[in-house]
Structure 1
Amino acid sequence: MSVNVRRMACTPEQVFAVLADPWVYPTWVVGASRLRAADDRYPAQGSRLHHSVGVWPLVLNDETRIDEWDPPRRMVLEAKTRPFGTERVIIDVKPRGGGCLVRIEEYPHTGIVTKLPGVIADALLHVRNAETLRRLEWVARGRAEH
C-alpha cells in the first residue's frame, strides 16, 4: 500500500470541484491519457469513468468506478488497469488553515498487480501519486482563479 500526503493551497471544496469533473481526470491522474466517456450520474456511487491509459500507440481502454463519494471529505475509487488487475484508491481531504491536507492511499486490489513484491508496487505508486497530488493541486488552484 502506498500513502502520499500533500498540503495544498486550496480548499477541500476546490479539490472536490476537480474530482467531480470527469473531463479533467486525465489532467491530474498520472497515466490517464484521455477520457472517452463518463456516466451521466458521475460522481455518484457506482458511476464510472471510461478512460484510456498509456501513450499512443500503446493505449488501453479502461474504466474507474466510484465506490464512495462524500464531498468535501472522501472519495474511494476502483481503478482498472487491464490486463493487470484493479487498484483501490482512497482520497481523504481535511481543511488546514486556508488550505487543506490531501491524503491518497492506493493499493493493488485484484489481479497480477497483487503478486508484485510490496516494496516495488509501493515505490512505483508513491512516485506516481506524488505527481498526481501535485497536478490535482494545480488544477484546483487554477479553477479557483477563474
Structure 2
Amino acid sequence: MAVRRETAADAEAVWRVLADGWLYPSWVVGASRMRDVDEGWPAVGTMLHHSVGAWPALINDTTSVTGCVPGRELMLRGRLWPLGEADIRLRLEPNGDAGGGCTITMEEDVASGPTKLLPKPVRTAMIVPRNVEALRRLIYLAEGRSR
C-alpha cells in the first residue's frame, strides 16, 4: 500500500525531518507525544518511544528502525498493541530537473497482530488515507525548514 507525493523540498530537507525523532508526532497521524528518542536515531535498531491516541486514552509504544540508507530510505517497525505491528518504508527520490525537490513514497502494511486478519482492501482503506495526511504533514515541515 504505497502513497506517493512530490515536494519542492529536496531529499536532504525531508531527511532532516525524518532524522529528528522528536518531530515524529508532528507528521505521523495518531502519534500524540514523544517520550524519548534513542541516541543515534535513525540508525538500525534505534527506537522512538511515543504515545498514540488522545488523553486520557493514551497508549505508550515504540517504533524501531529496521533499515536505513541515510538521505534516501528509512524502514520502520511501528507498534500499536494490542492491534499489532506495521512495517513502514519511506523512500526519497530526488527529482532530476533543475528545480530540485523530491518524490516521497510511503509504503505500509500490517506485519503482525490481530489487524493482519483483516482483508487487504480493509487494511488499505484504513492505512492509505492516514498516510496521505502523514506525507502532507511531512512535506509542510520539510518545505518550511528548507526555506
What is the Cα deviation at residue 53 of structure 1? Answer: 0.3
Find the residue that maps to 2:44 and give its secondary structure: coil
Equivalent positions of 1:78-89 (< 5 A) are 78-89=77-88
| TM superposition shift of 1:41 | 1.7
For 1:107, the equivalent position in structure 2 comes to 109
Give percent identity, aligned residues only: 41
Residues 114-136 of structure 1, C-alpha deviations (whole Å, 9 max, x = no match) = 01121111111000000000000
The number of residues matched between the two structures is: 144
TM-score normalised by length of structure 2: 0.96
> Runs in 1 of length 4+ with deviation above 2 angstroms?
none
Query: Which consecutive unaligned segments of at least 5 residues does structure 2 have?
Result: none
Cα separation, 1, equivalents of 2:42 and 2:4: 23
SS across alignment from 2:32: strand
How many angstroms apart in 2 are the aligned matches of 1:106 and 1:51?
19
Q: Is the 1:13–1:71 Cα contact (8 Å) retained in structure 2?
A: no
Secondary structure of the 1:33 match is strand
What residue number does 2:20 align with? Answer: 21
Letter in 1 for 2:145: R
TM (norm. structure 1) is 0.96
Alpha-carbon RMSD across the aligned residues, in angstroms, is 0.7
1:77-109 deviation digits (Å, cap 9, x = unpaired): 000011111000001110113110110000000
The residue number in structure 1 matching 2:126 is 124
Instruction: Return 5+ residue gaps in structure 1 as ranges.
Output: none
2:49 maps to what in 1?
A: 50
